[in-house]
Amino acid sequence: MPQIVHTEGESNTSEARKAWLRKSMGPKSTPLLKRDADVFLHQSLSSPCVSTIAKAEGIWIEDMEGRRYMDFHGNSVHHIGYGHPRLVAAIKAQLDDLPFAPRRFTNDPAVDLAEKLADIVPGDLGKMLFTTGGSDANEVALKIARAATGRFKTISFWDAFHGAGFGAASVGGEATFRSHIAGPLLSGTEHVAPFACYRCPYNHAGPETCGLACAKMVEYVLEREGDVAAVIAEPMRAVPYVPPPGFWRSVREACNRHGALLIMDEIPTGLGKTGRMFAFEHDEIIPDIVTLGKALGGGILPIAACVARKQLDVCGDFAIGHYTHEKNPVTARAALTTLQIIEDEGLVHRSATLGEHAISRLMDELQNVPTVGDIRGRGLMFGVEIVDDRADKTPGNARAERIYYACLEAGLSYKISQGCVLTLSPPLTISQSDLDHAIDIVVAAIKAES
């Protein structure tokens, strides 16, 4: 259950990891981990597993040995915490009422959910399809972009993740999802370097100085290719990297100039995680298509959505998202109730204020720590980059891993991204005292390793 994401080149058998496994594996976990490894296909980042899970409740997860952790990862599904009682009750009631809808039979929860999403997504994005997972929602978006523009090329970012399907992996930029698959991915999927001010030579100098070189590169490729159907990207990268001010406005305008659609993948960032309902709202742009998923199912059920501008309803003669659970009333009910909970409990505002508090505490307490390269984020998606030396920014992968295991030991689970970024993303329902306790754990572990 503890989530460590090993990026390319990172050791899967470090001393810190071996020590943790020796300590954490008990009589209940060990046999299950072995059965799991025997029966599941092994793949990078997931199987074999590093731990077991017996309970998930609120912000907490518990393994089969009874160890409890605050879950600051949750695969970005747990905005409302695990097992929110109102959501559990709504799902149970829906199961009794109408458990499934075969294709072509519409139902109240599916239409109610679509109307609700049309209502909360800005602009005239009001037509949609539901899918079971985010990868599929992105593939629907790509198909719409092809049909609407009569073009097939895309621009996306190296290092981005958009899902594991062939189309989604083709626009993705993470090596592990692109490598070792014999044969080509989708053609025409051009990639550019992502925005990442901290790693940029201009180093947060601001748009006046850097001239938004990262956005200009997107336009350069749009212009040189001349026939790009869409730019697809995460509005804020979950690493986390916040876009420089003006980046998205500049890309939006470039898309308009070159006849390309802008697709925002809000699968981890959407529904309040960054302190706005959608992360692109920080940047005052409106995309042509938005994809949502993960937390949409309330941390219980799988449902995702591709929401497009009404004028993009151009695929009526083709099947672009013909999924078995397209209008499943139970998953739709889960999503609708999740949106109601987010609204009724003021979770978007809560994410903004708690996130500000967390980031400013980290900045205050870690400002003089030489192994902290950067602290960044928005709302309750924030992170601390660990370096070996602040001056040359050498990534401190081994140090980050030791910090991670120290935090686990103290009862806090999260994800390490890109080898050295402690990526902290708690539920929006977290109490301030639990958040403060988690920050105490992270700060102490970082200071002990500096």
Task: Give the residues lining the site for ligand PLP (CB under 6 A).
Answer: 133-135, 138, 161-163, 234, 238, 265, 267-268, 293, 304
Any idea what DSSP says for residue 132?
A: S
Instruction: State both tokens at 241.
Output: 């990297």
CB of 432 to ligand PLP, least distance (A): 27
Contacts of 22 (CB under 8 A, 6+ apart): none
State how far the Cα of 262 lies from the Cα of 217, in Å rounded to an integer: 15
Which alpha helices (H) appear in 294-415, and where do they start and end?
A: 329-344, 347-366, 397-409
State how far the Cα of 293 lies from the Cα of 305, in Å rounded to an integer: 6
- CB-nearer residue toward ligand PLP: 218 or 239: 239
CB of 302 to ligand PLP, least distance (A): 7
3-state secondary structure of 28: coil
CB of 157 to ligand PLP, least distance (A): 11
- CB-nearer residue toward ligand PLP: 192 or 443: 192
Which alpha helices (H) appear in 268-388, and where do they start and end?
A: 329-344, 347-366
Which alpha helices (H) appear in 40-107, and where do they start and end?
A: 85-97
- CB-nearer residue toward ligand PLP: 406 or 421: 421
State how far the Cα of 102 lies from the Cα of 147, in Å rounded to an integer: 26
**How many whole angstroms from its chain centre is CA 134?**
10
- CB-nearer residue toward ligand PLP: 303 or 362: 303
- CB-nearer residue toward ligand PLP: 10 or 265: 265
Instruction: State both tokens at 383.
Output: 């992170």
Give, in order, the Cα–Cα distances in Å from 116 to each of 27, 91, 121, 306, 380. Answer: 47, 18, 9, 14, 24
State how far the Cα of 198 lies from the Cα of 183, in Å rounded to an integer: 35
- CB-nearer residue toward ligand PLP: 143 or 162: 162
Find the residue with minimal CB distance to ligand PLP: 134
CB of 34 to ligand PLP, least distance (A): 26
Give, in order, the Cα–Cα distances in Å from 244 to each of 211, 262, 395. Answer: 11, 18, 22
State how far the Cα of 110 lies from the Cα of 329, in Å rounded to an integer: 6
Among candidate residues 242, 239, 335, the one with its CA nearest the CA of residue 280: 242
Among candidate residues 322, 316, 314, the one with its CA nearest the CA of residue 288: 314
CB of 407 to ligand PLP, least distance (A): 22
- CB-nearer residue toward ligand PLP: 267 or 407: 267
Among candidate residues 393, 382, 403, the one with its CA nearest the CA of residue 450: 403
CB of 294 to ligand PLP, least distance (A): 6
Q: Give me the residue label for tokens 């970005």.
A: 76
- CB-nearer residue toward ligand PLP: 371 or 425: 425
CB of 132 to ligand PLP, least distance (A): 8
Instruction: State both tokens at 214.
Output: 């990262």
- CB-nearer residue toward ligand PLP: 78 or 402: 78
CB of 388 to ligand PLP, least distance (A): 28
CB of 412 to ligand PLP, least distance (A): 21
- CB-nearer residue toward ligand PLP: 238 or 366: 238
CB of 323 to ligand PLP, least distance (A): 12
Among candidate residues 269, 266, 267, 240, the one with its CA nearest the CA of residue 428: 269
Instruction: State both tokens at 318.
Output: 């083709």
